[in-house]
Amino acid sequence: MRVFSFSEARQINGQDSQDKNWTQVALYLVNPVNPVHSSDNQETLAILTAYHPIRTLLNESTPAAQTRREANRALTIVSAAVFLASAVWFSGTAAAPALRAEWHLGDAQAAWLTTAVQLGFIAGTIIYSLLNLADRFNARRVFCVSALVGASVNLAFALLADGIGAACALRFLTGVTLAGVYPVGMKIVASWFREGLGWRLGVMVGALALGTATPYLLRALGTSFDWRATIAGASALATAGGLLLLFGVGDGPHLKARARFDWRAAFKIFRHPSFRYTAFGYFGHMWELYAFWSLSTFYFAARFGDQATEWRGVALLPLLSFATVGAGVVGCVAGGWVSRTAGERRVALVSLCVSGACSALSGFAFELRPELLLAFVLVWGVFVVSDSPQFSALAARHCPPEYTGTALTVQNGIGFAVTIFSIQLLPLLATVVGWRWAFTVLAGGPFVGAYFMWRLGRAGSTA
């Protein structure tokens, strides 16, 4: 770092007056070669950093600034990798309309294309958490291998599946591999940041939401493509994501030493009340999230019928679903940004209340004019997932640090188990009350989650 004299420092800052504070700067700014020989170094640094030009010079030159730049670069790469690798998640769901016609499936059978992935993810989280894979082995390699295997199994679905049985088996295996993508990606982000984790995870989960929505977009734009082309495209994206993370980013400075194997760790983490409240709040959030994401197409189809088949060569129903799921990007990033000042718990609490209200009102909103209904559903899409990264940040904060990967995996696994029931319940309920009112049953989850966020606040969490 260059050493500035007192007069040079005043000139840089544009100060002509003999400010009393500047007399404390002495003759040098702090640098590793010639440090300030004063007893009030900390006070001097505090004064220096109060002046923006000086602060900029310091921030651009210190090792801490270099670490921040590396961390921001890592966040960008991890988010991009998660976006690419998560494309296989809803690829079967996006192809469901074509498969319903080709294989003569009912609504409940088509829902199994999503349910099978969720079941696989649950099985994967059990395997990953009991074996502590994300904590015993290098997280980047775990992510990469998981993404590559997931891409291969997803491609096998496109090439080999000839009926609902084979499709569900291959979708199940795809879900198993995703347990090494989403939770492990969160651990990698957490290894780069100590503060503002909710904001950074908001960016990453926003990338996950966009990646999850991508198959809908591919389906909407590729109306003339065979459904297998959509699936193959998702596999190509997942392959790129796994390789990008392995070779594009290193291990974070806050990465804990690899933990020893302890199969009981998956159960011990629930002994911590704050983690327990966070996990229960997350489970309520998950009751709503994936049922809303995976079944919104049926809601739109019931509302618009044949009015929304195609527009200028673009299939409108998958495009509406893409917009609904993709709106979560705004929710995750905006919620993360707000959490920097409001705290993760408050953002989660507000998000749960708003999305729960949207679920409760969805039957009434069904009759709104198309543009108003779209606005309503987009607001719902923003708030239904804006709390997700906040739950991950809270879980990472309140769990034993050496088992962060295991804690995030367990929380995700149980949360996805909850989604099985809501995804299967809605088609059955729709046969009785119709798709207009079926989504109202989802409101209970976020309201229960809001209760546990209130309990977490009472327990003393200020996050």
pLDDT for 461: 62
Residue 310 phi, psi (nearest 5): -155, 145
Task: Look at residue 18 and tell me whether its pLDDT is greater than 50.
Answer: no
Q: What sign for the dihedral angle of Cα 131, 252, 250, 201?
A: positive
Task: Look at residue 255 and tell me whether its pLDDT is greater than 70.
Answer: no
- Which one is predicted more confidently, 8 or 368? 368
Instruction: Work out the percent of the chain whose per-residue pLDDT is above 70.
Output: 78
Q: Are 87 and 410 in contact (CB under 8 A)?
A: no
Both tokens assigned to 204:
């990453």
pLDDT for 312: 46
Question: Where along the chain do its domains lie?
Answer: 6-59, 77-458
Of 70-79, 89-98, 319-328, 366-375, the one with minimum mean pLDDT is 89-98
Both tokens assigned to 296:
């919104």
d(CA 349, CA 452): 9
Task: Look at residue 95 and tell me whether its pLDDT is greater than 80.
Answer: yes
d(CA 234, CA 87): 5
Task: Look at residue 55 and tell me whether its pLDDT is greater than 50.
Answer: no
Q: Are 423 and 118 in contact (CB under 8 A)?
A: yes
d(CA 406, CA 266): 6
Instruction: Work out the percent of the chain whose per-residue pLDDT is above 90.
Output: 40
d(CA 406, CA 130): 8
d(CA 345, CA 461): 8
Q: What pTM, to 2 d.p., does this model score? A: 0.71
d(CA 218, CA 213): 9
Q: What sign for the dihedral angle of Cα 385, 389, 395, 400?
A: positive
Of 117-121, 316-320, 365-369, 375-379, the one with minimum mean pLDDT is 316-320
pLDDT for 93: 79
> Quick one: average pLDDT of 390-394?
89
The overall average pLDDT reported for the chain is: 80
For 164-197, letters b (16+ CB in 10 Å) and e give beebbbbbbbbbbbbbbbbbbbbbbbbbbbeeeb
Helix (H) or strand (E) holding 311: strand 310-311
Task: Look at residue 37 and tell me whether its pLDDT is greater than 50.
Answer: no
pLDDT for 262: 54
Residue 455 phi, psi (nearest 5): -65, -40
Which is the CATH superfamily of the domain at 77-458?
A: MFS general substrate transporter like domains (1.20.1250.20)
Task: Look at residue 408 and tell me whether its pLDDT is greater than 90.
Answer: no
Q: What is the DSSP string of 29-96?
A: ---SSS----TTHHHHHHHHTTSHHHHHHHHTTSHHHHHHHHHHHHHHHHHHHHHHHGGGTSHHHHTH
Contacts of 72 (CB under 8 A, 6+ apart): none
